[in-house]
Structure 1
Amino acid sequence: MKYPPCGGVRGALYSPAQLQRAHDAIVALKPASELHGSLAGKTVVVAGNSPTLNDAPWEKLNRFPIIGCNRGLRKKGINYTHLIIADRHPYCQERDSGRLEAFAKGGGIFLGSDSLFQPDVLLRGPKGNLQRLAQPTPDFPMYVYHIGTQGQKNAQAKMVGRRPAPTLNFTTFDKGLESCLNICGSMIQAACIMGAKSIIFTGIELKWKSEEESHFFGGGRGAGAYPQNEDTVKYILYCLREARKHFRRVGIGWANLSPVKDCPFASVFGDQKRLK
């Protein structure tokens, strides 16, 4: 659907009519609930965007369903089956490059959060950057899911840093997914909702190697990415520990292929190479 971006960051204005138009456009998209159980009983690869993505054994991993994220389509040689984006900046870049449309029209499953398109959902970024504003919905196929902080809001809530403790959702797209302040949280929740029995993690550390080599494509800051700070890492790790509890409770196996041992992600999901 073609209309100008508006709202979505602090100071960017939008009208009631623009808000209603965005709502109507989102409702017209395919709901992610159509994907319930679509990966039931399967081993699924969950792939981040770190430099170690380049070293993963894709000749072996490409036989599995692969859930990628953000700018993952820039990496050649990966047979992504799913791509998840909840950040407007990578969404705009991949949309404008044509990669996202080609993926979606070529049989790939694109899952996008409704926050990509909602003018009243404020995300980070300056209002002068059009790629940070709430975007029009695409003309190519996609599935939409709801994202947002599902944590307790009352005064007695357990706090993680300065934020209420989150409640992750592993069962249905009919309810919102916890943002986890990082796309890996959405990928994990989505994999569980779609029925994954085992998960192979690759390309996820939650720690930049360097400014020049923070992502598999080089420096991420120039593309609009940013490193996590101590407060957000604390929140993300809480979410990951909740995911690990769920894995153990329902019997989901996992393996982490990243060779980086000294990183936040490995502190939760370890550096083991074999499925547990």
Structure 2
Amino acid sequence: MIKKMIKLVLVGVLALGITATVNISAEAATHKVMWGKTELKAGQIGKVTILADTDLVKIGSNGSLSKVRTLKKGDEYRVYTYKGSNGGLYGLGASSFVQKSTKLKYETPSKSKLALLNKEVHGGITPKAGMKLTYSPSFTEPTKREFITKVENEFGANRTLLTIPGQEIGGYVYNEFTSDEGDSTITFGVNYTDWGLFNVQYPLIEGKQTKEIDYDGNDRIIYNINVISTTSTVTVKAGTFQNVVIFKTNAGYTYYLAPGVGIIKMIGSDGILDAELISFK
């Protein structure tokens, strides 16, 4: 666990001459919470994925079902209600239903997805285990660097290591833990050192402030920082990511973190692109 956090000096990035081209305010204007192919909305209880062509139906005055149209394989639809009649009917809105059957899969939203409806993030923005992440530039270097992720649990903290293939030391580490004061925190820094890029508290709520913790020697310093977005759709060289968390630290660095992937982009206080995810698998 990182015991103290100091500002990380990014060496050589200025010489790279790469400037950020993304308009943060434009990204933050995207407030959709995507769940697969559909947007999760208030009042929604689940969704159905059509596994084979099936009928969309309406209920007649005598309780009989009449076909409206055919729902195609691969499509997804929001579910707002459920009726136990006719073997089970999922309500898709506008008084239309689809019958429960093996031709479709019904799912309910996760707690993290529901929290996003309130634009809150309580976790889930670190990489999953066994991923290969390639960055260029790569935080402290203006060059391409590949990392392999490894997840550990140590003293109640979830540690996600970004290891460098063929090297026993080096790389970076995310820590998610609950402090003695009961605060839930996420940190990111250089592994095997006390250099930290950020140390911020959950929950991250769009348009509100959260606490960033820093240290000057043994003195603990707390800053209030802005959470720009928790629901943005952001495109980098590695692809397009939904529900991206964007926050700006007291030192002026802006971080973009995607669920299950972690940092996809980092912009310095001078507008220079300090890190970008260019591929992942």
TM-score grouping bracket, smaller chain normalisation? under 0.3
Higher relative contact order (CA 8 A, sep 6+): 1
Name the TM-score, length of structure 1 as normaliser.
0.27
When Rg is computed on C-alpha atoms for both structures, the one with the higher figure is: 2
Higher share in strand: 2
Name the TM-score, length of structure 2 as normaliser.
0.26
Higher share in helix: 1
